[in-house]
Amino acid sequence: MNMRMILFWAVLQIPITGICSEWIFVTRDTVGDEFFVDRASFEQDEYKIFYRGLRNYSSPEKRFGSFSSVGKFEADCQTGGIRLHQFDYLSGKMGEGEVINSFPITDKEWFNPRQGTVGSKQLDLVCFEMGKVNE
């Protein structure tokens, strides 16, 4: 009986961030950081899409020493806007490892990324992928 409880507790310690993800590569920036969106996280509410985005740092991030970060985003494919709801810094690549720091975003303003930026590439991919699902 005690062994079952230990096993159950150990399974609960596995980070949920990396489980059941379907990361799609979006782009790489000039310093070598890689950006992805999680297709498995897509949820649609009328014309808005909720999704997770991931950033792999080419070298440990300066403030927390994290190797990746995962954000929870909302995209409006009609107006071309994005807003951030949550941001987590993780100790491993691809959203794995321990959460080093986590920030709920209280100021949830929409922003419209300029064409050619990481944000616009993520928005284009999310809206394109969701369009394929809805066909």
pLDDT at 67: 98
Whether residue 11 is predicted with pLDDT greater than 60 in this model: the reply is no
| Structural domain of 100 | 29-134
| CB of 100 closer than 8 Å to CB of 70 | no
Q: Does some domain include residue 65?
A: yes
Q: Which of the four pLDDT bands, split at 50, 70 and 90, describes residue 130? A: confident
pLDDT at 94: 97
Q: What is the CATH number of the domain that holds 50?
A: 2.40.128.710
Q: Which of the four pLDDT bands, split at 50, 70 and 90, describes residue 129? A: confident
Q: What number of other Cβ atoms are within 10 A of residue 101's Cβ? A: 14
Based on the structure, what is the number of domains in the chain?
A: 1
Q: Does some domain include residue 81?
A: yes
Q: Does some domain include residue 19?
A: no
Q: Does some domain include residue 105?
A: yes
pLDDT, one tens digit per residue, over 92-102 is: 999 999 999 99
Q: Does some domain include residue 2?
A: no
Task: Give CA–CA dist 91/94, Å, rounded.
Answer: 10
Whether residue 9 is predicted with pLDDT greater than 80 in this model: the reply is no
pLDDT, one tens digit per residue, over 35-66 is: 999 999 999 988 899 999 999 999 999 999 99
What's the token pair of residue 106?
């209280």
Q: Does some domain include residue 117?
A: yes
What is the chain's mean pLDDT, rounded?
A: 85
pLDDT at 108: 81
Nearest to 64 by CA among 31, 97, 37: 97
Alpha helix (H) residue ranges in the chain: 2-12, 118-134
